[in-house]
A and B are shown apart, each in its own frame.
Chain A
Amino acid sequence: MPAPKSTRFLAACAAAFALLLLACLAIGAAPPEATMGVVQKIFYFHVPSAWLLMLSALVSAGGSLAYLFRGSERGDRVALAAAELGVLFGLCVLVSGPLWAKAAWGAYWQWEARLTSSLLLWLMMVAYLLARRYGGPAARRLAAALALFAAVDIPLVYFSVRFFRSIHPQTTVVSTLGPGMRGAFWLSLAAFTGLWFVLLSVRLAAEKAQAEIVELEILLEQAEEEKS
């Protein structure tokens, strides 16, 4: 007999957090950056969060596509779960970024292409959740359209540092990391991505349970009616 779902999820969550803890140790052991010093360490959590924000938006758009054009209920659930994770990791990007910027640029926020486009992508994910919740009868299709429009913003976030004159570090910075930093960075990225997948599957299980509950409630009502 397989272990109950909640136990398996607990184990998966614990594994992901252990990996994250390991990444933290590696980050602590990594040498400080020459010009910025300790503040540069924010980078190890900031970049994976940003990557997950983009991944969430992309997966949400993919799920929405499957829902809109194929009527896939699973696609709809994936889109919702991914959008929620997008809001979570977007928040992490938007908090860790300014904390780094305060030390590096002297100001928490600059109106600059990458910051603006990331903020917008996050706002669209929030809008997705709002639409899901309060959008009325067409809420799910409306939200799906929103996710697809939001997908347009993903390349804008990624390429913004190249298209516009920008003070945000370039994407190529990753390949110029020192040997001690590279390992910590990739480990952190792997831990974050693993955590993302675990969270997505937990969130999907919750959504599925919700759908099943609705089904069973109808069934129960029918059974009670038949009896009486």
Chain B
Amino acid sequence: MTGNFLRHTLLVAGKDLRIEGRSREVLYTMAFSAALVVLVFSFALSNAADPAQGPIVAAGVLWAATLLTGTVALGRVLDRERENEAIRALLLSPVPRSAIYAGKLIAVFLLMLAVEVAVVVLVSVLFSTEVFAHPGYLALVLMLGTLGFAATGVVFSAALLRSRSRDALLGALLFPIVIPALLAASRATACMFDPLAPDLQPVLFWLRFLFATDVVYIALGLWLFEPVVCGD
């Protein structure tokens, strides 16, 4: 049973990633708009160059760019299912609905991570911050933060599939829910970017907090995806 679930999950994720691998449409547009967000912040904040605030600003920009471009990824990965009513075929197939959710989650997660690597490099250049002081923790916080965002995002993006005002609504509905995760992620990131931080105790605290929210969000997502997306 679990082996079956895993197989179906990988099937759905693999399908999305294969389509993406052929056109690279989402990846390129996301990476470009993420770079633009970082640049916009860098222009807007260029005069506020208080070095003590540097790590906080860099972490904030990193996560703001992730969140804003993540919404683009969510929109596009599920839009593909709307074209030609592919979603109906997917829902009619014998794949369990929770496996569809998990597959979409993995696809969005990997796409966002790929873009985040570029964003991290860009932030380190433009905000001259010690970004790679703790590479292990950075990787962990990026993964946990992105996972929490994608876990909620897939549910709402799928539910909004047939709505006309979807692009306007997705952010409005999603952001209040994911802000706790964003807050934890950017606090942890700011602490590990700060060369003057006395210890990494806050990082550990926020990572644990992130882990807990991720568990709750994914459990809710797996549980709610079917009734929300497939009802009547």
Contacts and interface: CB of A to CB of B under 8 A. Distances in A.
A8 B231 CA distance: 37
A148 B173 contact: no
A117 B160 CA distance: 26
A149 B177 contact: yes
A149 B227 contact: no
Interface residues of A, number: 28
Contacts of B228: 68, 138, 141-142, 144-145
Contacts of A136: 160, 162-166
Contacts of B179: 120
Interface in A99-129: 116-117, 120, 123-124, 126-127
Is chain A's interface secondary structure helix, strand, loop, or mixed overall? helix
A180 interface: no
Interface stretch (A150-158, A192-200, A218-226): A150-158
A149 B169 contact: no
A130 interface: yes
Contact of A134 (B159, B165, B176): B165
A170 to B, nearest CB: 20
Given A149-B152, A149-B220, A138 B160 contact: yes
Contacts of B152: 149
Contact of A138 (B159, B165, B172, B176): B159
A156 B177 contact: no
Nearest to B161: A138
Contacts of A69: 227
The range of chain B's interface size is 20 to 34
Interface string B212-224: 0100110010001
Contacts of A139: 163
A26 interface: no
A68 B224 contact: yes
Contacts of A150: 176-177
A148 B173 CA distance: 13
B180 A124 contact: no
A142 to B, nearest CB: 4
B159 A142 contact: yes
Interface in A57-77: 68-69
A4 interface: no
Contacts of B160: 135-136, 138, 142
Given A145-B228, A149-B152, A152-B220, A137 B176 contact: no
A144 B224 CA distance: 9
Contacts of A130: 169, 172-173
Given A127-B172, A131-B173, A117 B180 contact: yes
A53 interface: no
8 contacts: A124-B176, A130-B173, A131-B169, A135-B169, A136-B163, A148-B220, A150-B177, A152-B213
Interface of A: 68-69, 116-117, 120, 123-124, 126-127, 130-131, 134-139, 141-142, 144-146, 148-150, 152-153, 156
Given A124-B176, A138-B161, A149-B177, 14 more contacts: A134-B168, A136-B162, A137-B162, A138-B163, A139-B163, A141-B227, A141-B228, A141-B231, A142-B159, A142-B160, A145-B224, A146-B177, A148-B220, A150-B177
